[in-house]
Amino acid sequence: MNDKVAILWVYLSATPLLHLTLTVCFFVLARWFYRRMGKRSWMNPVLLSVLGLVAVLVLTDTPYSVYFEGAQFVHFMLGPATVALAIPLYRQWSTLKRHPIALTVSLLTGSLTAVLSAIFIAKLGGVSDQALISIAPKSVTTPVAMGISESLGGLPSLTAVVVILTGILGASLGPWVLDKLHITNPMAKGLAMGTASHGIGTGRAIYMGDVAAAFSGLAMGLNGLATTIFLPVLWGWLTN
Amino acid sequence: MLESLAVLLFCQLIGELIVLFLDVPIPGPVVGMLLLFLGLMIRGEIPEPLSQTANGLLGQLSLLFVPAGVGVMTHLTLLGNQWLPLSASLIVSTLLTIAVTGLLMQKLVGKGDEP
């Protein structure tokens, strides 16, 4: 009996199917749990499924590279999904272009706030320069942030992790901040969510309606663009 | 559905090629998004199947971040050693960014401006 289980395990753990299935199942379960518990923000489905999957991988002694062989199919869809953001963007274009100055000023201020406050607080806590530049682009969507971090001497894999954590934080605590500060305008809500917490924030902003979703998606794209341009210059000043 | 997926992948592919060719540090999918947006502007409407595929994909956006998130397990030592400054930095900075961006935008466009 134990032999059969062992053989089965050897077979399953060698195919990408197992970890692909686990990823989707854990997420479905986490989302069901999240809805069941009255959508409490700290029960963010991404957070729950990441915790669950890490626990399983650690317990079964599975390295991340083996897990990723299966999970890469889900990860891959980030590309087409990013392209698909053109659709809410197009739908809301007439609204977006009504406030070009407000949009640009708010976005650039938010983008600078994200980078400078992250560097400043971590620096106070004695974090190394390499870790500092790895967390600086934390509010930018994963593929862009990893590219920025790598080109400035950071650790791209650490960047990926802090980007996801930032996204989860923004998606789960963002609505609470918006509420406390009486930010009710859907354009402002979407812009704030997308600037601070990229795609995961946008995933949450989709539930705030079409306007918030479009502004969030736009903010995510523009923040990536802005950070790509100003962070190398800023980092040059800070380290000199 | 299949045509729409082909359109999305094609835009991404062209985006990646442009980035590779121009050697700019912008991700291919972002360029792909701009290309699709331009295409929609020229066409003047969103084809219904494309709209459905996009909604389906974007409705599951959060799932797509899970594999990268699980990568946290490769940095447990670093995160364990410096968890306090790192978590303080992430939490304060993220909430501050949401507050600053949201307040400024609402101030500039007005609270009551319903789009």
Q: What is the 3-state secondary structure (H, E, C) of A35-104?
A: HHCCCCHHHCHHHHHHHHHHHHHHHCCCCHHHHHHHHHHHHHCHHHHHHHCHHHHHHCHHHHCCCHHHHH
**Tokens read off for B111:** 């609270």
Of A84, A135, A158, the CB nearest to B54: A84
* Cβ-based neighbours of B7, under 8 Å, separated by 6 or more: B36, B50
pLDDT over 90 at B75, yes or no: no
Report the pLDDT value the prediction gives residue A167, as an integer from 0 to 100: 93
Q: Measured between CB atoms, does A110 come within 8 Å of chain B?
A: yes
The A residues from 69 to 108 touching B (CB cutoff 8 Å) are 71-72, 74-75, 77-93, 95, 98-99, 101-103, 105-107
Which chain B residues contact residue A126 at CB under 8 A? Answer: 82, 85
Confidence band, pLDDT 50/70/90 cuts, at residue B114: low
**Tokens read off for B1:** 């559905």
Which chain B residues contact residue A202 at CB under 8 A? Answer: 61
Among the residue ranges A84-88, A167-171, B47-51, B91-95, the one predicted with the least confidence is A84-88
Give me the mean pLDDT over the A139-147 stretch.
Answer: 82
Of B5, B28, B94, the CB nearest to A169: B94
How is chain A classified by DSSP, letter by letter?
-HHHHHHHHHHHHHSHHHHHHHHHHHHHHHHHHHHHTT--GGG-HHHHHHHHHHHHHHHTT--HHHHHHHHHHHHHTHHHHHHHTHHHHHHTHHHHTT-HHHHHHHHHHHHHHHHHHHHHHHHHTT--HHHHHHHTTTTS-HHHHHHHHHHTT--HHHHHHHHHHHHHHHHHHHHHHHHHTT---HHHHHHHHHHHHHHHHHHHHGGG-HHHHHHHHHHHHHHHHHHHHHHHHHHHHHT-
Indicate the domain borders of chain A: 2-76, 83-238
Q: What is the ipTM of this complex?
A: 0.87
Q: Report which of A159, A117, A239 is spatially closest to residue B96, judged by C-alpha positions.
A: A117
pLDDT over 90 at A188, yes or no: yes
Percent of chain B with pLDDT over 70: 94
- Are B61 and A206 within 8 A, CB to CB? yes
Percent of chain A with pLDDT over 70: 98
Which chain B residues contact residue A142 at CB under 8 A? Answer: 65, 68
Report the pLDDT value the prediction gives residue A214, as an integer from 0 to 100: 86
Of B8, B66, B74, the CB nearest to A74: B66
Give me the mean pLDDT over the A156-161 stretch.
Answer: 84
Give the closest-approach CA distance of B11 to chain A in angstroms: 7
**Tokens read off for A186:** 């859907």
Predicted structure pTM score: 0.81
Mean pLDDT of all residues belonging to chain A:
89
Which chain A residues contact residue B78 at CB under 8 A? Answer: 131, 158
Report the pLDDT value the prediction gives residue A63, as an integer from 0 to 100: 92
pLDDT over 80 at A41, yes or no: no
Q: Measured between CB atoms, does A166 come within 8 Å of chain B?
A: yes
Q: Measured between CB atoms, does A20 come within 8 Å of chain B?
A: no
Give the closest-approach CA distance of A107 to chain B in angstroms: 7
Mind listing the pLDDT tens digit for each residue in B9-56? 999 999 999 988 987 766 788 789 889 999 999 999 999 999 999 989
Percent of chain A with pLDDT over 90: 50
Q: Measured between CB atoms, does A109 come within 8 Å of chain B?
A: yes
How many CB contacts within 8 angstroms connect chain A with chain B?
A: 328
d(CA A160, CA B72): 8
